[in-house]
Chains A and B, each alone.
Chain A
C-alpha cells in the first residue's frame, strides 16, 4: 500500500453522508460525487491518503472546483467549541478559543443553552431547552435551498448556516436535538470527502455495508481478524524457487522437477467462497497482496519526476521482484539492472531489449514458501475480488504481481481424484527441436503453453497432495465435514485450523464429530471397523455414519464469535451507537491438528492415595482425556 494516491489505483472515497464510493482513479478524468459536486481526478493524484479534501467554489475563470485540504482543527471546530463552552461560562469567550478556523460553529453553553456563533464569536442564534416543538419548520423552500446549493459557496457551509438560521423553532430545540439537526444538515450539504486506500479492511467494510454482504458470507472485520490469527497466517519465509530443470522440448513428464517436501514451508490451504476476499486477507497478512510499499514511498520522494501522468507500467515493473530468479550469464544483464534505476523518458522501449534466457517449459514459477493454495469446487476458482488489487487469475500474460508466485489453485477433483483430471493426467506433447523449429509460431506457442500448463498443474497437485501445510483457512458454503475429510490429512502436525461460517449449525455439527463421547468411543473400541488399521490409514479414514471423521485428528476444538460495538464519543454525549448491522452473526471454529500416538492410549488418571474419589471427577472434567474404561 502506498501513502500517496497513485494513478490508476483503486481507492475508496468517503463522503460526508457516510457512504463510500470505490473507483479507480484514472488520470485526466473528472470524479463526480453526485450531489456534492465534482472535481478533476488529477487534483487528488500524488496527494496523501486520509486527509480531508473540501471542494472549493469554482473560480470565475475555471469550470471546475479546486480542492483544499481541511486542517484537523477545522474539522473539530465544533467539538472544541463545545468543550470550551463546558469549561467556561460565557459562550462568547469560549468560542474565541475554539473557532479559529473562521467558521460558523455551534456551541452548547452551560449544557442547556445553545447558540449559533459566527466567525467573530458573536452569538447569532441562541436556544434553551424549555420548549420542544414538534412542528418546528424550515422557512426556506426547497427551491431556495437548491438555489443556495447552486451558488455552492463556501463548501456548503453557507447552506447549512442559512438552513439553521431560517429554522423557525431553532430557539426551541434542546442542545441535543440542535446538534443532531446540524449534523443531519452537515451530512447532506458539506462538500468534503476523504480518500482511503482500498486495502482489505476498507474493501470488506464497503462490500458489507454498501454492496452485497452475502457475497462475502457476511464476514465482518472482527471475524477476519480472528480467522487470520487463529490460523496463524503470517509471512512464511523468504522465497525459495526450484531450479530450472532445463527440459528440452522432446522430454516428457519425467523431466519435471520432483516435489521436495523439505523445501515446502509456510504454506496455507484455503477454501474460499467469498469471491477471493479471504484469499486477499491472507495474502495481505503474508505480505503478497500489495506491491512493495517502501520503494513506492521513496520513489515519490526522489525529486521532481520528469514524466507526466500517464504512467506506470514501467514503474510497477521496476518495483516488483522478477517472477523467477534468472541466472545471469550475459553482460547484457548489467544494462538491464541499470534500466529500472533511472526511469529515463523513453529509451528502453525503442531499443531491442537484451534477451533474458527464457526459462524452460517445466520451470516452476511458484515459490516453495509463503504460498496460498486455494481449493475450488468449480473448474476455475472464483477470485474475482482480487482484481481490486490488480490481480486477475485468468489473465495469461499478467504484469508482475506478488500473488503470481504465491497463489496456487487446484480443484477438488485434482486433489481427490487427479487421475480423472485431464490437465493432470494427459502427458505433455513432445517434439524434437528440429520439428519444433519447422512449426508456425502460433503452433509453437501452443505447444509451449501446453507443456507449461502440464508442469504447473503437476507441480501444484503433487505438492498439495504431499501435505505438510501450516494451516487450513476456510470460509465456504460447502459442508465443513467433507472439507475436513480431505484436508485434515494434508495438515502438518500442530497446524491450526480456522473455519468461518455465517451460521453456527455447520460448525456445531463439525465440533460434534470431535465430541468427548465420540472420541472416547473411538479410542475405546467403539468402532470395530478401524481395528488393525495403521496410523497412516487412520489419518486418511474416509468416515462412516457413526464416525464422519477420525475424532483424534483435532485437538482443542472450539467455536467462538466476536462483535465490535461502536460508540459515539462526544463531549457529554458518549454512548453506544443506536443501531448496528444485523443478519448473520458469524462464527469461527478453531482447533489444532493432532498426531495420535500409535496403538492404544490409556488414560487412567494419576492416582493419589489420599483422595481417591477426586480422581474420577478430575478425569471427567477434562475433555482432553479419553477414558477407555468405558469401552
Chain B
C-alpha cells in the first residue's frame, strides 16, 4: 500500500483530546439516537446557512462551528439558526434531517446525485477570509459530541445490509483471537460494522513501507456497497489498515494481487460459507471438496502452484455467521472435510436492561411519569380503607341526624339507604376524598425526607423488544501443517530419554516420593536447614 510519510491516525484509533475539522464525530441526540457527522470548518455561507454547515435535529440547530475544537464528550447548546429564509425551498422537514445529515450535509453543491457522499471538502470560495455568522445560543436543547468508536459507529452507520452488532462481534473477535498484529480476512464487508471493530482489534500501528502490521483484508462482491465502503475507509483514515477488494470470493478466492494475505483469523458473513471454505485450505483441495465437484475457473490447473491465503506457520481461527440452521449444517460438514478442528457452534443472546424506580403509593406526587397511585402495601391499603370507612360512618351519622331532625315521614328510610350506598360507592371509587390540609402537610414531609427521584423501589426491566436471534456463529480452528520433515527436525531438537520427573497428574505415591527426595536434597544444602540445625545444637548446649 502507498505509505505516506505523515499518516494521520484514524479518529477511531486515537481521536485526540478535541474535535477536529474534516474528521468524523458522533452526535448523541439521546441515548440511542446517534448521528455521524463529518465536521467542517466554517468557510462562509453553506447550503443557505450563514453559519456554515449546520446540523438540524429535533433539539435545535447545531452549526459545525460550535462543535469544532471542543473537548470530546462536550455538551453543545443549540444555536439560533435561520432555517426558514434560506432562499430556497427546504426539501424535507426537520424529522428527516437526521438521516440526511449523515450523508449529504457536507455536499456543498445542490447537485446531490445518488453518489454524493459526505466528504469533508472545505469550500474555498471566500478565500482566506471566511465571513461566517457567529452562532447564537438557543434554548431549544443540546446534544453531546462523542469520538467515534466501532460501537457508536455500529449503532449509527448508514445501513446497507444486516449489521453485525456489538454483542456478536465482541464475542467473535475474542474467540478468533484477533489481536494487535493479527491479519484478518473478512468476507462480506456489508455495512462495515465488523470491519471497524476488526481493525481496532488488529491495529498495532500504521505500516510503513515493507512493514507488516495488523491488517484487515476485506472482500465485498456488491459493487455499490464496495464503493461506499471504500469511501468510508478513506474518510475514517483507515487506508493502509483495511484493504478492501471487490470480488466474489466463491469463485475468486482470497488472494490479493495474486499474493497471500497470510491470515490467521477469518470471519465469513456469507450466504454460503461452504463455497468459500475450500479456498481457505493450506493445500490444494481435491476436486470432490469443491461444492460444484470441480474447482472454480482459474484454479482448475493442477500444475499451477496452490497459494494459500492462510499464514503457513500459524494456527488459523475461523468464524462463520449464518442465520439458518441449514447453512450451519452444510458449513460444518464442509469444515470437517477440509480438516478444521474444534468446531463449535453458538448463538449469542444479548439483553439490555433499563434501571428505573417503581413508584407505587397513594401519597406520591406526580413528579415524573409512571407513578402508580395505588396502595404500596397492605398497611397503606388498610389505612386508606379505614379512613374511607370512618368518613362513611361520619357521613351516615350526619345523614341519620338530618333524617331524625326532619322526622317527617317513616318511609324516608328507604331513600336514606340508597343515599348511603351512593356515598359508599363514591368513597370506594376514590373520587370522594380530596387531600385534606393534613394530608398535604404529610406529602410535604415525605418529599422533604426523600426526593421524588429516590422514591420507590429500584427495578430493572428489559427493553420492550429483544433480538432473540441474530445468527449462528460457527467457530473452527485449522492447525499448522506438520510434515515428516518438521517432525524429524523437532525430534532432533528435543530428543527424548532424559526424563527426570513427572508433571501433570501424579498419583499419591509418586508425589510422596518426590516430596521425600526434595526434602532430602534440601536438607544438607539449604541455609535454613543449617541454621535450624545450628540453633538446635546451641539449644542443647545452653540447655
Contacts and interface: CB of A to CB of B under 8 A. Distances in A.
B147 interface: yes
A44 B350 CA distance: 40
Contacts of B72: 492-495, 595
Contacts of B130: none
Interface string A256-298: 0000000001100000000000000000111100101110011
B74 interface: yes
Given A521-B451, A567-B347, A230 B151 contact: yes
B357 interface: yes
A308 to B, nearest CB: 7
Given A29-B503, A72-B341, A287 B73 contact: no
B227 interface: no
Contact of B74 (A284, A597, A604): A597
B102 to A, nearest CB: 18
B460 A504 contact: yes
Contacts of A334: none
A69 B329 CA distance: 27
Contacts of A428: none
Interface string B109-149: 00000000000000000000000000000011111111101
A203 to B, nearest CB: 13
Interface string A371-412: 000000000000000000000000000000000000000000
B498 interface: yes
B343 A569 contact: yes
B346 interface: yes
Contact of B30 (A33, A494, A567, A624): A624
Contacts, number: 370
B314 A3 contact: yes
A154 interface: no
Cβ-closest 7 pairs across A and B: A287-B180, A494-B72, A493-B73, A624-B30, A225-B170, A602-B139, A46-B490
Interface stretch (B232-240, B385-393, B475-483, B524-532): B475-483
Interface residues of A, number: 135
15 contacts: A51-B479, A79-B336, A292-B181, A298-B313, A494-B145, A508-B355, A509-B355, A511-B355, A559-B460, A562-B171, A562-B348, A563-B348, A606-B140, A607-B140, A625-B141
Contacts of B94: 606, 608
A229 B169 contact: yes
Interface string B336-353: 110111111111111111
Given A494-B146, A563-B348, A304 B492 contact: yes
Interface stretch (B201-209, B294-302, B395-403): B201-209
B60 interface: yes
A564 B458 contact: no
B309 interface: no
Among A3, A40, A526, the one with the most B-chain Cβ atoms within 10 Å of its Cβ is A3
A122 interface: no
Given A229-B169, A230-B151, A560-B350, A601 B341 contact: no
B496 A43 contact: yes
Contact of B347 (A34, A301, A564): A564
Interface of B: 9, 13-15, 17, 28-31, 33, 57-60, 70-78, 94, 139-147, 149-151, 166-167, 169-175, 177, 179-181, 197, 200-201, 203-205, 212, 214, 313-315, 325, 328-329, 332-333, 336-337, 339-357, 367-369, 451-454, 458-460, 472, 474, 477, 479-480, 482, 487, 489-490, 492-506
Contacts of A320: none
Interface of A: 1, 3-4, 7, 13, 21, 23-24, 26-34, 38, 40-43, 45-52, 64, 69, 71-73, 75-76, 79-80, 83, 194, 199, 201, 221-222, 224-226, 228-230, 232, 234-238, 265-266, 284-287, 290, 292-294, 297-298, 300-301, 304-305, 308-309, 468, 492-496, 504, 507-509, 511-512, 515-518, 520-521, 526, 546, 552, 555-569, 571, 574, 587, 592-597, 601-608, 618, 620, 622-625, 630
B341 to A, nearest CB: 6
A566 B29 CA distance: 37
Contacts of A73: 339
Contact of A603 (B142, B197, B342): B142
B15 to A, nearest CB: 7
A592 B73 contact: yes
B349 A565 contact: yes
B314 A38 contact: no
Contact of A601 (B75, B145, B337): B75
B504 A38 contact: yes
Given A42-B494, A559-B353, A595-B71, A33 B479 contact: no
Contact of A40 (B30, B139, B351, B499): B499
A229 B166 contact: yes
Given A33-B504, A76-B336, A229 B479 contact: no
Nearest to A233: B200
B336 A72 contact: yes
B495 A42 contact: yes
A46 B493 contact: yes
A562 B499 contact: no
Contacts of A79: 336
Contacts of B343: 569
B490 to A, nearest CB: 4
